[in-house]
Amino acid sequence: MVGIILASHGHFAEGIKESAQMIFGEQENFESAILLPSMGPDDLKKDLEACINKMDTDQILFLVDLWGGTPFNQTSNLLEGHEDKWAIVAGMNLPMVIEALSERFSNESSHEIAKAIIGSAKEGIKIKPEDLNPKEDEKISNNEIATNPQVVGAIPEGTVIGDGKIDIVLARVDTRLLHGQVATTWTKTTKPDRIIVVSDSVSKDELRKSMVMEAEPPGVKAHVVPVWKMKEILEDPRFGNTRAMLLFEKPQDVLQLLDLGGQLEKVNIGSMAYSEGKVNLTSAVSANEDDVKTLEELISRGIKFDVRKVPSDKSENIDSMLSKAKTQLKMN
């Protein structure tokens, strides 16, 4: 795995490292070095060398804050003689770091990762109000997912595209729906071209729908549909060649989809928020009696569960969680 070292003026690199791990999970071969006002260039160089010595790989990518600054200059000095396996990218931001962490799962070259992350660094820069951004193609409206799934003009009903089956790359229960961990880590891992929030309540809430649309990651279109519409989408042959991530606010919505005739094989549980009457099962998952019954019903219908916030986490055992929930709920 390619080692990544962040370097900056002040505590910027430490902060980005902490933020990245909040989103992406704890990481190995991932270090930071900072230049404080009390330090000189040689002090930073020693810290960078200490970071390098912690790496158990000879492929290293340095991400620094400013081209021509002291962190850049010191990493450049260290780069000499290692140009074949090391690389430096300046202009560090959080989207760049997230992309680098994602890329190294499938890429063992610091040079290739350096080339791959520039796009994400640029695409992560946006302005709100949106009319201040450079003009781009208008976002696709939510109802267009039903009438124009490939966004290439109206497609007649009954048209079969590809094998006529939508590819569900991830079905996830997450109270927060589309947020940082989903828009970065899971999107990078599963590579969908559509993110579909499946919820009757959210589909009726214009504010929440607009928030979902605004959170869509670069290159991926976000949509909100009621549960009954998702069942129709699963059966619509016009969605062949579509890679979709489904986000459910609660497990009851998954069960509703199955009751309508929709089919899923595996569901990831990312978070189920705590509220009165629920018990904590993990740091991110809480459940009440109805949640437990719903999850048990889904298991009885053949649904496999993967319980983890981010891809790098170890999956929790769903049976142990449900047993724990029933014990704690009886005690309350």
Burial class (CB in 10 A: 0-12, 13-18, 19+), 126: exposed
| Active-site choice (11, 111, 179, 223) | 179
Q: DSSP for 120-147?
A: HHHHT---SSGGGSPP-PPPPPTTHHHH
Burial class (CB in 10 A: 0-12, 13-18, 19+), 21: middle
Q: Are 199 and 224 in contact (CB under 8 A)?
A: yes
Report strand pairing: 221-225 vs 194-198.
parallel
| Active-site choice (9, 11, 82, 111) | 9
Q: Are 262 and 303 in contact (CB under 8 A)?
A: no
Is 111 labeled as catalytic in the residue annotation? no
Return d(Cα 35, Cα 47) in angstroms, integer.
9
Is 11 labeled as catalytic in the residue annotation? no
3-state secondary structure of 214: helix
Would you name the residues annotated as active-site residues? 9, 179
